Amino acid sequence: MRILAFFLLLTATSALAAPDRLTPDRLTQAAALRDTALAKSEAWPLLESLTTNVGQRLAATPAEARGRDWAVKAMAAAGLVNIRTEAFPMPLWERGTETAEITGAAPQRLAIAALGFSGATPADGITAPIVYFADYAALQEAPPASLNGKIAFIDHRMMRTQDGSSYGVNGVVRRVGPALAASKGAVAVLIRSLGTDYHRNPHTGSTTWPEGQAPIPAAALSLPDAEQLARRAKAGPVSLHLVLTPRFNPNGQSANVSAEIPGTGPEIIVIGGHLDSWDLATGTIDDGAGVAITLAAAKAIKDSGIKPRRTIRLVFWGAEEEGIWGGRAYGEAHKAEPIVLAAESDFGADRIYRLSSNVADTGLPLIAEIQRVLAPLGIAATRNNSAGGDGDVAPLIANGTGTINFEQDGSRYFDYHHTPDDTLDKVDRTQLDQNVAAWAAAIWLAASDDRALRKK
Ligand SMILES: [Zn+2]
C-alpha cells in the first residue's frame, strides 16, 4: 500500500509540475505535435471558412469587422481564453472606379489597380502625356518641375526569388515612388506591379505621402500592360486617359483580436497573422493563411492537453496592409508586458524551408533544439541570429522581444500577392499543414522552456 501511495504521489506531482526543459518528454511532445499536424491540421477548414464566409477584409471597413467576429468565434471554438478586441484609430481608404486607356490613333485599355492611399482624379478623369522611368533611380535624377502636367510611369525589374528579397529591393517604387514623382510636378503615377506573374492582374499595395504632400492618383499596371506601355513609350509620345476615384476618410477605426493559452509563469509568447486583406480577392495567402496556420498551431497545443510554462497569446492584427497600424498600436499598448518571443506568419501558405532567429544568446540552445525537431519537415537550420522583425511584430522586436522567423518558400507568392488571384485554390494543403506542424512544435518548445530570450 505504501509503495502504491508513493507512486500515486509521484504521478500527481509530475503531472502538476511545469515540464522541465531538456527532458525527453518535452521533445517527445513536440515531435507528436509535429507529426499529428503534418498528417492533418485544422488550418484548411479554418482558411476555407474565413475566405468563403467573410471574404475580403479591407482595413477599417465592415468587412474587416466581420473578420474579427469570425476570429472571436474561431478562437473560442479552439478552446482559447481571455479573448480581447482592442480598437485603434486609422484612416479609411476605399477603392473607386479605376480605368486607364492609351489615347490617340491606337487606343488601348490597360489593366490597373489603385494603390492604397492613392489620390483621386476628377470623376471624368484626366488625360496627360507619359514620362517613362526605367526604375526609381532614374526618377530620382529627374529635375524639379520636369513632370509638371505629366503622368510618371515607373518601371523596375522584380525577380522571382525563394526568399522574396526582390520585393524588398523594388518595393521603393510603390512605397515612395508616387510621392517623389508628385514632388517633381507629376499629376498622376503608374508603376509596374510588384509581381512575378504574366497575367493581366495588377498588384495593389500601399503607398505613402510625406507630411505636406497632397496625394496624387497612383495605380499599378499588370506586367503585360506595363510592358505594352513601355513599348509604346519607347516608340514615341504617348498619352493616357486615367480615371481613379478612391474615397478617403481620416476618421476610421480598426482593431486587433487576441486570445490565450495561459501559462504557469508570467512570460508571454505572441504569435499570429494579420486579419485585414486587400479588397481585390479573398485575402487567402495574404494573410488568411497566417491566421489559419497560427490558430491551428495553437489549437493543436491546446488539444494535446499539455500545459505551457509561458502563456501562448494568439494575435490577429488589423490594418497591416495599409501601414502596420495594428502592429504599431499593439506594440505601444503592450510594451510593458513580459513578451519574450513574437513571430508572425505572413508569407503565404507554401512550405517552410529554413528557420532563423533573433534571440538573446541564452536562448540559442533552445533555437538549436527547435531546429532539430523541425529537421524532419525539411526545414534547414541556420546560425543566422539576426532575423529581421518584419510586419506586425516589428514594434515588439524593436522593444527587445526575441523572434523566430519561419522562412517560407516565396517562389510563387508574388504571382498572387495583392491581386484578384489571391484565392483558396492557390493553397496547397500539404504545404499548409507543414507550416502548422512547424509552428506547433516550435512554439510548444519555446513555451515550455525558461531560458531568457529577450534581447533587452
Ligand atoms: Zn500580409
Tell me what pLDDT residue 22 has.
52
Terminal alpha carbon distance of the chain: 53
How do the pLDDT tens digits run along the chain, 456 residues long? Answer: 333 333 333 333 333 344 444 556 899 999 999 999 999 999 999 999 999 999 999 999 999 999 999 999 999 999 999 999 999 999 999 999 999 999 999 999 999 999 999 999 999 999 999 999 999 999 999 999 999 999 999 999 999 999 999 999 999 999 999 999 999 999 999 999 999 999 999 999 999 999 999 999 999 999 999 999 999 999 999 999 999 999 999 999 999 999 999 999 999 999 999 999 999 999 999 999 999 999 999 999 999 999 999 999 999 999 999 999 999 999 999 999 999 999 999 999 999 999 999 999 999 999 999 999 999 999 999 888 999 877 999 999 999 999 999 999 999 999 999 999 999 999 999 999 999 999 999 999 999 999 999 998
Tell me what pLDDT residue 390 has.
79
Tell me what pLDDT residue 23 has.
58
Distance CA(372)–CA(423), nearest Å, equals 34
287 CA to middle of ligand 1, Å? 5
| Type of residue at 1 | M
265 CA to middle of ligand 1, Å? 32
Task: Please answer whether residues 448 and 308 qualify as being in contact, where contact means their C-beta atoms are separated by less than 8 angstroms.
Answer: yes
Can you spell out the DSSP letters for 79-125?
Answer: T-EEEEEEEEEEEEEE---EEEEE-SSS-EEE-EEEPBT-----TT-
DSSP state of 379: P
278 CA to middle of ligand 1, Å? 9
346 CA to middle of ligand 1, Å? 5
Q: Would you state the torsion angle of the CA atoms of residues 64, 65, 70, 73, taken in this order, to the nearest 10 degrees?
A: 150
Fold entry, domain 19-91+251-447: Aminopeptidase (3.40.630)
Report how far apart, in Å, the C-alpha atoms of 229 and of each of 109, 196, 254 are. Answer: 10, 17, 38
18 CA to middle of ligand 1, Å? 35
276 CA to middle of ligand 1, Å? 8
- State the angle between helix axes of 429-447 and 364-374 in degrees (0 to 180), rounded to the nearest 10: 150
345 CA to middle of ligand 1, Å? 8
164: which residues sit within 8 A by CB, 6+ positions away? 347, 410, 413, 414
pTM as predicted: 0.94
413 CA to middle of ligand 1, Å? 11
348: which residues sit within 8 A by CB, 6+ positions away? 285, 286, 289, 408, 410, 413, 416, 417
171 CA to middle of ligand 1, Å? 14
140 CA to middle of ligand 1, Å? 28
348 CA to middle of ligand 1, Å? 8
CATH number of 96-245: 3.50.30.30
Tell me what pLDDT residue 388 has.
84
Tell me what pLDDT residue 24 has.
65
DSSP state of 323: T
User: Where along the chain do its domains lie?
Assistant: 19-91+251-447, 96-245
321 CA to middle of ligand 1, Å? 6
Task: Please answer whether residues 312 and 81 qualify as being in contact, where contact means their C-beta atoms are separated by less than 8 angstroms.
Answer: no
Closest CA to 158 of 423, 415, 426: 415
